[in-house]
């Protein structure tokens, strides 16, 4: 049986990747942000996972408004990093955890979830940036990836409860998989930000700090919120945080919050990171 060895939550702001590309990580603007990830990088280097499940949303790069799946799962053996307009990125391709992906898709359909199944697709900053934050810039990524896309772009987005339910299926899939893989689950997106409309530039430090502890220790509170509550509390794009619920539901009811970091703003976003382990 494969095993979940940790849950990670992190922002996925695209300019983090651009800062790394341009060698800006040690500049006064970026240093405090990247410094907070050192503990997470050390944790993952010691934990030695084989697979990273990455829960993220596409941002009009691989899916556009003409067709948006509510949930999609990658079953490819390889994913390349999409060019989002700053030019091709010097990061390696991501090797897919193909068999585990198919096993997860089987479990999902068996549990009355009907995801879009992707055999060939590129991945945007939603997956690229979390991988860079935890693994740096290796010649080859030390883990295979299992990508899960959640629509947080075009309403109606899925409910927090639906994201939670997907996380429980993810846990069942991993624990019933006949392998000895060590798996980490990354919930990405957030924290508070709004990139559009009247509240463009909105940040909510208080809600962000409460989230980092609350998602670990009182996830029921966040599972029970409405989508509108997420938009109100965290901004229209901050509602990406529903994706952390997939990760949290795959973990045990009781977890230990072993690392936590918050920095605001990174670009226009309250940026946060947690590492949790099952208690
Ligand atoms: C920003 C944040 C995001 O989560 C995103 O997907 C795109 C942009 C930002 O703050 O610039
Ligand atoms: Fe985003």
User: How would you write the pLDDT of the chain (279 residues) with one tens digit per residue?
Assistant: 899 999 999 999 999 999 999 999 999 999 999 999 999 999 999 999 999 999 999 999 999 999 999 999 999 999 999 999 989 999 999 999 999 999 999 999 999 999 999 999 999 999 999 999 999 999 999 999 999 999 999 999 999 999 999 999 999 999 999 999 999 999 999 999 999 999 999 999 999 999 999 999 999 999 999 999 999 999 999 999 999 999 999 999 999 999 999 999 999 999 999 999 999
Q: Which position among 193, 259, 261, 263 bears the catalytic label? A: 193
Q: How far apart are CA 27 and CA 262, in angstroms?
A: 18
CA dihedral 157, 82, 19, 143 (to 10 degrees): 90
Query: Beta partners for 71?
Result: 150
Give the Å distance between the CA of 268 and the centre of ligand 1. 7
Task: Judge contact between 185 and 44, C-beta under 8 A.
Answer: no
Would you state the pLDDT for residue 142? 98
Map out the domains of the chain as residue ranges: 3-278
Give the 3-state secondary structure of residue 66.
Answer: coil
The response to whether residue 10 sits with its C-beta less than 6 Å from ligand 1 reads no
Q: Is the CB of 188 under 6 A from ligand 1?
A: no
What ipTM was reported for this prediction? 0.95
Please say if 125 is a catalytic residue. Answer: yes
Q: How far is the CA of 153 from the centre of ligand 2 (A)?
A: 9
Q: Is the shortest distance between the CB of 150 and ligand 1 below 6 Å?
A: no
pLDDT at 54: 99
193 classed as catalytic: yes
CATH topology of domain 3-278: Protocatechuate 4,5-dioxygenase; Chain B (3.40.830)
Omega of the bond leading into 151 within 30 degrees of 0 (cis): no
Output the pLDDT for position 76. Answer: 98
Place of tokens 């199944």: 117
CB atoms inside a 10 Å sphere around CB 265: 15
Query: What separation in Å is there between the alpha carbon of 191 and the centre of ligand 1?
Result: 10
């Amino acid at each position: 049986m494969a095993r979940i060895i940790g849950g990670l939550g992190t922002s996925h702001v695209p300019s983090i990747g651009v800062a790394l590309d341009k060698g800006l990580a040690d500049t006064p603007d970026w240093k405090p942000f990247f410094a907070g990830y050192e503990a997470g990088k050390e944790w993952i280097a010691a934990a030695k996972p084989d697979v990273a499940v990455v829960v993220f949303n596409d941002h009009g790069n691989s899916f556009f408004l003409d067709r948006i799946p509510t949930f999609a799962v990658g079953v490819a053996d390889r994913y390349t990093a999409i060019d989002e307009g700053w030019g091709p990125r010097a990061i390696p391709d991501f090797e897919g955890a193909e068999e585990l992906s198919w096993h997860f898709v089987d479990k999902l359909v068996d549990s009355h979830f009907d995801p879009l199944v992707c055999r060939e697709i590129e991945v945007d900053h939603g997956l690229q940036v979390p991988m860079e934050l935890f693994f740096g810039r290796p010649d080859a990524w030390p883990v295979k990836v299992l990508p899960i896309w959640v629509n947080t772009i075009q309403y109606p987005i899925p409910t927090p409860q639906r994201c939670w339910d997907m996380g429980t299926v993810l846990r069942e899939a991993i624990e019933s998989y006949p392998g000895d893989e060590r798996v980490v689950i990354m919930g990405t997106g957030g924290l508070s930000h709004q990139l559009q409309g009247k509240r463009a530039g909105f940040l909510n430090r208080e809600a962000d700090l409460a989230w980092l502890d609350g998602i670990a220790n009182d996830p029921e509170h966040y599972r029970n919120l409405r989508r509108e509550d997420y938009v109100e509390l965290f901004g229209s794009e901050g509602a990406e945080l529903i994706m952390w619920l997939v990760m949290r539901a795959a973990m045990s009811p009781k977890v230990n919050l072993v690392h936590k970091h918050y920095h605001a703003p990174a670009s226009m976003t309250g940026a946060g990171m947690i590492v949790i382990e099952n208690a």
